[in-house]
């Protein structure tokens, strides 16, 4: 893999990850860009002691542009986009409308392909492997920035969950705090260790590997629908080796993940008519806290709001008001359907 870094016209960083060592990328951004948007504000909710990001400048961000105005496509002729080069394999750059910036963190966009009309599911294992390397590279680099406590790589896919740009891409957030979900799960892992002496994730993985909810597995990874799935489609992907984060994965594990994840996304898109809207979230250990790193295990959690071909799950009063999730589909049923959705 060849890595090339440059700066965009307003000073933002851009990093190309190319599969061919011979790739040459345009490093100069010919646009005349306005100054970068002002930073957002972190506020701590006294009722929950959790951080909320107030990002008032984002209200005017680009919203579902037509494909000939896509800012994530390569630059061609007079049409200058966020990516100065005329082609790329995988590219990361700082978000022009970031939720977090400056001392408060950093938001990057990770484009999975220069092809506007493809999807991660269609790109295949070779490209997914390049993307894993990009995730790992950015996770390691962002972890070194002052004040960063956690790096979060994720993909929002589909207009049903509010995606504002169709071009296949994910996002990477470098956060100045440990997220509420991570804190909750770490508390469970700590309590589990105190109560049983065991590792929570090891014990969950061992139980699920023997159970009825495995979807796919190979030498290094298992994908399963968790016993208490909150979403009508929900799959967790655990590495068999206990590692805290993406940079810790070795070559064999990265290749095996690429194979399994490509197959999993294909199955997801065969569940209903048309592409499955989903959120795919990498859970990595906090970057600084040694006890938290010792308690954590890397895993991916993918879930969807789609509960039938024409029906979505909405987060309403029970979920958004109280944090109580009601799942209308038994997790065993979802696992069975995903197993049956073979190519």
Catalytically active residues are: 169
User: Among 229, 249, 292, 298, which residue interacts with a copy of itself (rule: CB under 8 A)?
Assistant: 229
Going by C-alpha positions, the residue among 26, 5, 7 that lies closest to residue 16 is 5
The span from the CA of 5 to the CA of 23, in Å, is 13
> What residues between 119 and 158 interact with a copy of itself by CB under 8 A?
152, 154-156
- Tell me whether residue 249 or residue 295 sits nearer to a copy of itself (CB atom): 295
Contact 233, 267 (CB under 8 A): no
Q: C-beta of 338: minimal distance to a copy of itself in Å? A: 16
How many residues contact a copy of itself, by CB under 8 A? Answer: 75
Radius of gyration of the chain, Cα coordinates, nearest whole angstrom? 20
**Is residue 322 within the footprint of a copy of itself (CB under 8 A)?**
yes
Beta partners for residue 157, in sequence order = 278
**Is residue 245 within the footprint of a copy of itself (CB under 8 A)?**
no
What single DSSP character describes residue 34? Answer: P
User: Among 43, 79, 126, 288, which residue interacts with a copy of itself (rule: CB under 8 A)?
Assistant: 43
How many angstroms separate the Cα of 235 from the Cα of each of 44, 210, 228, 303? 31, 16, 11, 6
Q: C-beta of 277: minimal distance to a copy of itself in Å? A: 10
Helical pair 251-271 and 125-143, crossing angle rounded to 10 deg = 120
- Tell me whether residue 76 or residue 320 sits nearer to a copy of itself (CB atom): 320
**Is residue 6 within the footprint of a copy of itself (CB under 8 A)?**
no
> What residues between 299 and 318 interact with a copy of itself by CB under 8 A?
301, 303, 307-308, 311-318
The span from the CA of 80 to the CA of 78, in Å, is 6
Q: Which stretch binds a copy of itself (CB under 8 A): 10-18, 22-30, 226-234, 266-274?
A: 226-234
How many angstroms separate the Cα of 319 from the Cα of each of 24, 183, 213, 229? 49, 19, 24, 13
Q: C-beta of 89: minimal distance to a copy of itself in Å? A: 23
> What residues between 67 and 126 interact with a copy of itself by CB under 8 A?
99
Q: Which stretch binds a copy of itself (CB under 8 A): 45-53, 124-132, 238-246, 288-296?
A: 45-53
Q: Tell me the per-residue interface mask from 194 to 223 with a copy of itself, x by CB under 8 A, - otherwise.
A: ------x--xx-------------------
> What residues between 168 and 197 interact with a copy of itself by CB under 8 A?
171, 173, 175, 179-182, 184-185, 187-188, 191-192
- Tell me whether residue 235 or residue 256 sits nearer to a copy of itself (CB atom): 235
Contacts of residue 203, defined as CB under 8 A and 6 or more positions apart, other chains included, come to 192, 196
> How many beta carbons lie within 10 A of that of residue 335, not counting itself?
23
The span from the CA of 224 to the CA of 233, in Å, is 11
The span from the CA of 39 to the CA of 103, in Å, is 9
> What residues between 273 and 302 interact with a copy of itself by CB under 8 A?
279-281, 301
């Amino acid at each position: 893999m060849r890595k090339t870094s440059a700066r965009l016209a307003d000073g933002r960083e851009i990093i190309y990850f190319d599969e061919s060592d011979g790739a040459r990328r345009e490093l100069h951004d010919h646009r005349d860009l306005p100054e970068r948007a002002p930073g957002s504000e972190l506020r701590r909710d006294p009722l929950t002691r959790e951080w909320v990001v107030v990002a008032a400048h984002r209200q005017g961000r680009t919203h579902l542009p037509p494909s000939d105005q896509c800012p994530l496509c390569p630059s061609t002729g007079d049409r200058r986009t966020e990516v100065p080069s005329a082609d790329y394999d995988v590219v990361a750059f700082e978000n022009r409308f970031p939720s977090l910036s400056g001392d408060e963190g950093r938001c990057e966009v990770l484009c999975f392909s220069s092809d506007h009309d493809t999807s991660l599911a269609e790109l295949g294992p070779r490209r997914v492997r390049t993307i894993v390397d990009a995730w790992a590279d950015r996770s390691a680099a962002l972890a070194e920035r002052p004040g960063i406590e956690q790096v979060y790589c994720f993909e929002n896919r589909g207009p049903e969950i509010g995606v504002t740009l169709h071009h296949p891409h994910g996002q990477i957030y470098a956060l100045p705090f440990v997220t509420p979900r991570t804190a909750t799960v770490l508390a469970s892992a700590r309590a589990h260790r105190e109560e049983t002496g065991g590792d929570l994730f090891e014990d969950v993985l061992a139980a699920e590997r023997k159970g009825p909810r495995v979807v796919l597995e190979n030498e290094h990874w298992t994908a399963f629908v968790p016993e208490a799935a909150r979403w009508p489609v929900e799959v967790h992907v655990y590495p068999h080796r206990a590692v805290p984060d993406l940079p810790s994965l070795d070559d064999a594990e990265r290749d095996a993940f690429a194979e399994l994840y490509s197959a999993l996304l294909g199955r997801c898109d065969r569940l209903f008519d048309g592409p499955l809207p989903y959120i795919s979230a990498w859970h990595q250990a906090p970057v600084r806290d040694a006890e938290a790193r010792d308690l954590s295990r890397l895993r991916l959690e993918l879930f969807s709001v789609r509960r039938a071909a024409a029906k979505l799950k909405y987060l309403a009063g029970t979920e958004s008001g109280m944090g109580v999730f009601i799942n209308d589909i038994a997790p065993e049923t979802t696992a069975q359907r995903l197993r049956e959705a073979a190519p």
